Amino acid sequence: MSTRLARMGGGGGGGDQRAGSVSCLVCGRGFGRLEDLRRHVRTHTGEKPYTCPMCTFRAAVMSSVYRHMRTVHNINTRATPSLTPSNLPT
Ligand SMILES: [Zn+2]
Ligand SMILES: [Zn+2]
């Protein structure tokens, strides 16, 4: 008698076999193609020229930094905090 827990796997899709699936070594995310993984890995090791001036947060796109600053530091980045102009000619 084999009373196994009947798995309710009535998917019928047939996509369980991960032939040659690769996973990211950084975050563990899986990808079907190596090219996709390579592309993804770049997000970890790729160029991230945009950095948060408040901490060590880095991002590949500026919008990510803006979003980070708003959510983490609660800083409104819409209005760029320009350096207080002390040389106003008026
Ligand atoms: Zn990753
Ligand atoms: Zn930050």
Per-residue pLDDT of the chain (90 residues; tens, 9 = 90+): 655 655 655 555 444 444 568 998 888 999 999 999 888 887 777 677 788 999 989 887 888 999 999 999 998 866 554 545 565 556
Ligand 1 geometric centre to CA of 31 (Å): 10
Ligand closest to the CA atom of residue 37: 1
Structure tokens at 2: 């084999």
Identify the CA nearest to 24 among candidates 32, 12, 14. 32
How many angstroms separate the first and last alpha carbons of the chain? 92
- Its pTM stands at 0.38
Q: Residue written as tokens 């590949």?
A: 60
Ligand 1 geometric centre to CA of 5 (Å): 34
